[in-house]
Structure formats: structure tokens, C-alpha cells
Structure 1
Amino acid sequence: MTLDAHVVVTRPAFTLDVPLSVAAGEVVALLGPNGAGKTTALRALAGLTPMSGGRITLRGTPLHPLPAEARPIGMVFQDYLLFPHLTALDNVAFGPRCQGVPKAEARRMAAALLDRVGLAAYAAAKPRRLSGGQAQRVALARALAVRPGLLLLDEPLAALDAHTRLEIRSQLRRHLADFDGATVLVTHDPLDAMVLADRLIVIEHGTVVQQGPPAEVARHPRTDYVARLVGLNLYRGVAGGTGVKVGEVLLHASEELDGPAFVAFPPAAVALYRSRPDGSPRNLWHARIEGIERHGDNVRVHLDGPLTAFADITPAAVADLDLTPGQRIWASVKATETHAYPA
């Protein structure tokens, strides 16, 4: 592994304890709710937040004893933090100059990096003349200019509008693919994580609760936070064959298991009925409508009862069923759309 770390930061009401390994050329995204410790972990890797314990080793060299300025790390901050009085070229050249590179050589390196991120024409522009997407690319070029072994990205797309974000996300993915060091990305956006990262590490309350390739995490969430992130209803129960007992409800799934299990299904798989449906579907429960809201092109119905669940249905279905908050309703989901896996 290029990066082999165990980050421990202890505060009066919070402890961050995160093991973290990243291979050369790999992009790892740290995901988690607000206050989980994502940015604290990133700042500890950079040397901006003191660690209470643990270690940070990069390419076999211990970094944790070193001050921030001595670590071979490039960082892109959420607000980019470009120097307002410097041109884009001099912002990028700043890091190499601090490392002792002669001015002419540093400016040549900076010009090459600006060309690489498509901003050669903006070399003389100061940050106030740059758009959000251009500023993000200058910040990335500045981080790469120090030839880091570790690249840290703190919510690098958060300051961009939706249209710019789409374009810059795809460009950033290409730039990261060309970087041969380790990359750690902090984001709250699951789409950024799924597109940019090779592996996800989910942090809740300062500890790792799940990690793996994006597709595996999306298919098999292990906490409510991850389930909400990837848009699934998730429950923990006890499996026996194809059935998983969740409280008083027996859910039948596509898989056969025995013992503690998770069971999950998408909100779009939930069907709603005003009266008990004929034929008694296998996965059926009586629920109360807790709330109704728009969700993209559909309507999301919040269900309370023996299973708390989300159901995504069309506006036409809401009208046909005459659904209102507080109403009692029957809910069901097909066994073929219900998936179980070991807890």
C-alpha cells in the first residue's frame, strides 16, 4: 500500500479511530453523515489536525512525526483557498517555489499543469476572474504541482452548481486516473463517490462501519445511513431459508440464508393498496402513512408501522389511491425484488 495509516483523534465528546490503506493509483472516498469525522481524518492526514495516536506511513516513510509543510501531500480544499493576489500561474507555481525550485522552472511546471487541466489561456487570470469550475481546476493543478505521494480532496465539487459539477466531475475522474499516488476523497455526495472512487469507506460516529467497491456497498448496505445514501429500505433480522423475520413481519427474499441477516429492497418496489390485496402477497404488512413528498418525477410515501419504509409511486397512483397523511394502507413488495445477505 502507498498509504498505510491508523488515524486516532480524541476530543472530549468524540473519538475518531479509522484504519486507512490506499494503494498506488487508487482513489478512496470517505463517506459519512455530518459530524462523522471525515474531514477530521483528512486534516489529520495532512498534519493540520493533531493526532492523539496511531500512525501515517506513505511509501514506507512515517509522516505522523512531520509538520504539515514537510509532508509530500497535495490538498484541494472545499473552498479552494487560492491566493487572491496571485495569478493562476503563480498559484500553481507557489508549491514548487516553496520546495526550492527556481522561479523559471516552477513557472514552466505550472504552465504545463494548467495546460493539462485545460486552463492554459487563464494563466494570467487572478482568482476573482475565474468561474467555480476553473478555480477548482487551478486548485487541483496547485495540489499536483508539489508532486505529492498523497492527494487529499475535501468536498472538491461542493461549491459548484449542478451543471458545472457534471462537467468537472468527469474531468476530475480523468485527472485522478493519471495520478500514480494515493488519493483520499471526502464527500457527502454518493454520486461523486460512486463516479470518482475505486473504493468507499463509510464512517459513522468516528469509526468505519462499511467499506468496499462502490457497487458492493450499494448492493449490500450495512447501516441505515448507507441504505438511505443508495436509496434502499434496509432491515436487520433473522433468516431461515428464504424468509427473514424482521420484528413481527416475515419477509421472503430471493436468497436462502440462516442466521442474522440484512434484508433490503428499493422504494420503487413497494406497492400500496387501500384494502388488503387479493391473493395475499407473501411480503405484506399494514402501515400508516407518515408523510407524502415529491421525489424526482415520483412521489415518496413515508410508511410507519411494523416496518418503517419508503415507497416511491407515481403522482397518478397517489390520486387514484387518494392517499393522505395518517391514512392506513397495505404495503407489499415482491420476493424477487427483496434481497437478503449475512449481517
Structure 2
Amino acid sequence: MTVLDAHLVVERETFRLDVPLRIAAGEVVALLGPNGAGKTTALRALAGLRPLTAGHVTLDGLDLDRPGSRLWTPVERRRVGVVFQDYLLFPHLSALDNVAFGPRRRGLAKRDARAKAADWLKRMDLTDYAARKPRHLSGGQAQRVALARALAVEPTLLLLDEPLAALDARTRLDTRTELHTHLGEHAGATLLVTHDPLDALILADRLVIIEDGRVVQEGDAAAVTARPRTDYVARLVGLNLFRGHGDGHDVRVGADFPLAVADRVSGEVFAAFPPSAVALHPERPEGSARNTWPATVASVQHNGDNLRVRLDGPIPVAADVTPAAVAQLRLVPGREVWAAVKATQVRAYPV
């Protein structure tokens, strides 16, 4: 059952957001995109903090925003819960009263609202922190109080704006696991706005990726990671991506560079391969790799346990190599090497 049916059109100066969005009951959708793509604008429009220019927001069959009919519903009358990036807890209220605030605004008696808040804090394993002010809470505890406050109003739509961004790496790991559990128990629709692919892949059932105010790709994690359709998505999932013309087992990319691929293709296609598929050599290699070309090291950066080497040449690519390989090949900016990729490791698919 579709809970959120929206077409978000917001115009401001030189930017236009035009994003259709549907979320089912119990579904978690992650909205991803680079800075300036329109993620925050979309969230604010759904929350009622920014009116639409056109389009509509319909929640559980009820129109909340439809400019064509001069209809707009203010924030306090929307069954929407929001967890902001910085949580925005009321500094003068205890954790208990922060969570009770929403139910009180919805008309619940103070005693009943505090009882409801206490129940939510218990669910978040925060009973012992009910009397604490936000300044006496850790980052993870503050995040859970903010989530409890958003869920205490029993929202039909839950909006999460970079909910883990303010946490350190260890706290983020633990809190992500807890958040996954709580989202699984939420019966309504959830929209997670994030720039972190790991948060999206772990927490969301479906990804919607926007660039320059428009949807460029959507689907479940497996579909998006297997077949990225823009450079941003390719970087997000860690792939080298090229668009070119396919003929048989060859794809012409860049300035007419022939890239051998495993699939038989024809016409406009994408070709993709992971950085781990790129082998680097001090001289032109001999062997089975059909794709070899001279390249120049542009940069070397840490990437987990390995190092990511960015290469300039007939096609710009990223290669993941071990620290030992970097030392052995003396991979520093300006160093000339040969790159090789086996055709069997290059996936090709229609544009």
C-alpha cells in the first residue's frame, strides 16, 4: 500500500527540484545525491517547511500540499516526524520532556504525554537518561532521543536528515544497527536523506538518486550497484564507469578508446569495472588482459586497507592496490605505468 505519493516541484532562483516519490507502508527509501542535488529541499517540502511551486504531496490518501488547488498544510498539522542532522533537541528540556513535546502539541494531556515518552525511551534503552538535558547526552544517546521524539507522534511519514552524520565512527556503527531495528518496526513510510552509501545500503529497501534536482536512477541496492548510470552513482558504489558505442565485444569510450568487454553489445552502452580489477605494471604487460594502456599517476590516497590510485591517460580510471605495490612500483604523482584490465571483468549494459 502506497503511503506517500508525491511529486515535488520547487523552484528557487536558478534551481528547480522536480522529483516524483512514492513510498509504501513499512518501506524505507534512501534519497541520495551530491551536495546541491536537492535532497534537503525535498525533505523540507515534505515536512511542510517549504511550500511546493507545483506538484503535490499526498499522505495516506490525504492531500497536504497541492499548489494547483491552493492547498497547503502547515507543519504542525502533518502526520510527519522529522529527525534533523543536528537533532535540534530543546536544550532546556529533559530527554523525557523532549519526547513528550510532540504528543503534548497534538493535544495529549501532560501526564499521558510523559507516560508515552517514557515508553519510547524504554524502547530506545534510555530509561536511565530520562532526566538528562541534551548537553549531558552522548551523540548516540541524543540521536536516539531525537528518533524517539519523532516516533512518539506516531507519524505516517518519518523523515531522517543525515541522522548519523554527527556521530564518530564507532558510535555510528552501533547506532546504525539500532536504527535499522527501529525502522523495521515502523509501520509507516520512511525517507532517509543521506550522502553516505553505507547508511543507504544497510538501512534502505530502495534507493532514489537525484542530481541537479532530478531523479537519475532508482531501484534496490543490487540493481543500482550492478548498473550505475551516472558518474556520481559509479563513484558512490565504487566503480569506474564509461559511456560509449558498443560493437560486438568492444566498446569505444573516451576519445575513441577501444575497451574489450565480456558481453556482446551493440549501440550506446555503459561499461563498468571495479578499481580492484585494474592491475598496474612498470612496463607493458604480457598475458591475457585484452585491455592495456599507458597511464600517468595523478594521485594516491588511502582507501581502507589499500590505496586508491587515480590515473590519467586515454581513459581516467581508479585502481586499488596494496601499500606494498605502491612502494614496489614507486607510485607517486607523475609516475608513468601501464594499466591492464581483463575483458571478463568489464560489465557492459544498455544506456
TM-score by length of 2: 0.95
Matches within 5 A, 1:213-292: 213-247=220-254, 248-279=256-287, 281-292=289-300
Are 2:288 and 2:342, in contact at CA under 8 Å, matched by a contact in 1?
A: no
Of residues 213, 219, 238 in structure 2, which corresponds to 1:206?
A: 213
> 1:157-194, CA deviations, whole angstroms, 9 ceiling, x for partnerless residues?
01111000000000000000000100001011110010
- The whole-number CA distance in structure 1 between the counterparts of 2:82 and 2:229 is 30
Of residues 195, 198, 214 in structure 2, which corresponds to 1:191?
A: 198
Q: Which amino acid aligns with 1:162?
A: A
Of residues 151, 163, 169 in structure 2, which corresponds to 1:156?
A: 163
Are 1:249 and 1:285, in contact at CA under 8 Å, matched by a contact in 2?
A: no
Q: CA deviation at 1:8?
A: 0.8
- The whole-number CA distance in structure 2 between the counterparts of 1:97 and 1:319 is 63
Q: Which amino acid aligns with 1:212?
A: G
Counterpart position of 1:142: 149
Counterpart position of 1:31: 32
Q: Which amino acid aligns with 2:172?
A: R
Q: Which amino acid aligns with 2:113?
A: A
Counterpart position of 1:90: 97
CA RMSD of superposed structures (Å) = 1.2
> 1:133-177, CA deviations, whole angstroms, 9 ceiling, x for partnerless residues?
011001101001111100000000011110000000000000000
Identity in percent: 64
For structure 1, the 5+ residue unaligned runs are: none
- The whole-number CA distance in structure 2 between the counterparts of 1:279 and 1:132 is 53
Of residues 126, 137, 146 in structure 1, which corresponds to 2:133?
A: 126
Aligned residue pairs, count: 343
Q: Which amino acid aligns with 1:46?
A: A
- The whole-number CA distance in structure 2 between the counterparts of 1:308 and 1:322 is 19
- The whole-number CA distance in structure 2 between the counterparts of 1:284 and 1:82 is 56
Counterpart position of 2:175: 168
Q: CA deviation at 1:280?
A: 6.6
> 1:195-235, CA deviations, whole angstroms, 9 ceiling, x for partnerless residues?
00000111111111111101211111111111111111110
Counterpart position of 2:69: none
Q: CA deviation at 1:106?
A: 1.0
- Secondary structure at the residue paired with 1:111? helix
Are 2:120 and 2:152, in contact at CA under 8 Å, matched by a contact in 1?
A: yes
After the TM superposition, which of the residue ranges 235-244 and 69-78 deviates more from structure 2?
235-244
- The whole-number CA distance in structure 1 between the counterparts of 2:183 and 2:349 is 33
Counterpart position of 2:315: 307
After the TM superposition, which of the residue ranges 176-185 and 256-265 deviates more from structure 2?
256-265
Counterpart position of 1:296: 304
Counterpart position of 1:329: 337
Of residues 62, 67, 76 in structure 1, which corresponds to 2:74?
A: 67
- Secondary structure at the residue paired with 1:63? strand
Counterpart position of 2:109: 102
